[in-house]
Amino acid sequence: MELFFRKYGEGPPLIILHGLYGSSDNWVSIGRKLAENFEVFLIDQRNHGRSPHSSEHNYQILKEDLIGFMNKQSIEKAIIIGHSMGGKMAMFFAADYPERISHLIVADISPRSYKTTNSAQLLAHNTIIKAMYNIDIYGITSREDIDIILAKSIPEPRIRQFLLKNIKRSKDNEYSWSLNIKTIKNELVNIMDGLNENQTEITGFPILFLKGENSDYILKEDEKIIQKIFPYADLETIPNTGHWMHAEQPEIFIKKITDFILQ
């Protein structure tokens, strides 16, 4: 699959993988700052942003998209940064292609599965996707109207504003989702999947997990799973942040990454 991407800077290659509902556009300011030291690639993963849509969305196919991208760009090894779904995909990628990674940074996601029926994350994503999927966008004339409809199910303005970045407008002033809502809805259980806890230890390159202080994506019990699969990984907390740490504390986020890589 031909993925859309943005590229900034020169130096060692660094690839950023966005999370669910995200895109390369959300990472431009971070990418440009990191481009002071690296050649930064911001990828739109399939079914997101400006990359093609498909009926499949699981970590097996996403990691094959990434290896295909790296081969096409002649990237032998890269620093991989993945947030949320992107971080989970990066972990699956590291299990199969450790020789293609020089450093791995996983932002606010654990290797465990989040697909149990009472998982707070699964329940939250089900609510979000149902709200987006059920909107009849045809005939809507403003983003404000879409926001009002989303607010009935999603009270948090910050989450709605993030979701609304997936709205695109045609030359005929018609709105649509750039995100492939249908596939994401159908594949959500696969997106919530996790690594096998009996996975062979993944070593051979430096690994950093970053946790948002106020986020529930990496719990205390998850630290045991992280250490079991990634025994030499570092785990650091970014204060006063939730799940979207890179948007809430971008300067601290960038400093944690650059200090880790350049140490």
- Residue 111 in contact with residue 235, Cβ under 8 Å? no
Q: Which of 84, 110, 178, 215 is catalytic?
A: 84
Q: Which of 18, 83, 125, 243 is catalytic?
A: 243
State pTM to two decimals. Answer: 0.95
- Residue 193 in contact with residue 162, Cβ under 8 Å? no
Distance between first and last Cα of the chain: 35
Instruction: Please report, for the chain, the start and end positions of each structural domain, with discontinuous segments joined by +.
Output: 5-113+196-262, 120-188
Rounding to the nearest 10 degrees, give the CA dihedral for residues 18, 119, 211, 28.
20
Say what the pLDDT of residue 18 is: 98
- The mean-pLDDT minimum among 108-122, 144-158, 249-263 falls in 108-122
Instruction: Assess whether 84 carries a catalytic annotation.
Output: yes
pLDDT digit string, tens, across residues 190-223: 999 999 988 999 999 999 999 999 999 999 999 9
- Residue 112 in contact with residue 222, Cβ under 8 Å? yes
Phi, psi of 236 (to 5 degrees): -130, 150
pLDDT digit string, tens, across residues 42-82: 999 999 999 999 999 999 999 999 999 999 999 999 999 99
Average pLDDT over residues 23-50: 97
Question: Percent of the chain at pLDDT above 70?
Answer: 99
Mean pLDDT score of the chain, rounded to an integer? 94
Question: How many Å separate Cα 126 from the centre of its chain?
Answer: 17
Instruction: Assess whether 246 carries a catalytic annotation.
Output: no
Say what the pLDDT of residue 118 is: 63
pLDDT of 36 strictly over 80:
yes
171-184 b/e (C-beta count within 10 Å ≥ 16 → b): eeeebebbbbbebb
pLDDT greater at residue 116 or residue 241 = 241
Say what the pLDDT of residue 122 is: 87
Say what the pLDDT of residue 173 is: 75
Determine the residue type at 175. Y
Cα distances (angstroms) measured from residue 72 to each of 22, 69, 174, 203:
23, 5, 35, 26
pLDDT digit string, tens, across residues 94-133: 999 999 999 999 999 999 999 875 678 888 999 999 999 9
Say what the pLDDT of residue 197 is: 86
Say what the pLDDT of residue 117 is: 58
Q: Which fold has domain 5-113+196-262?
A: Rossmann fold (3.40.50)
- Residue 150 has a CB neighbour count (10 Å cut-off) of 20
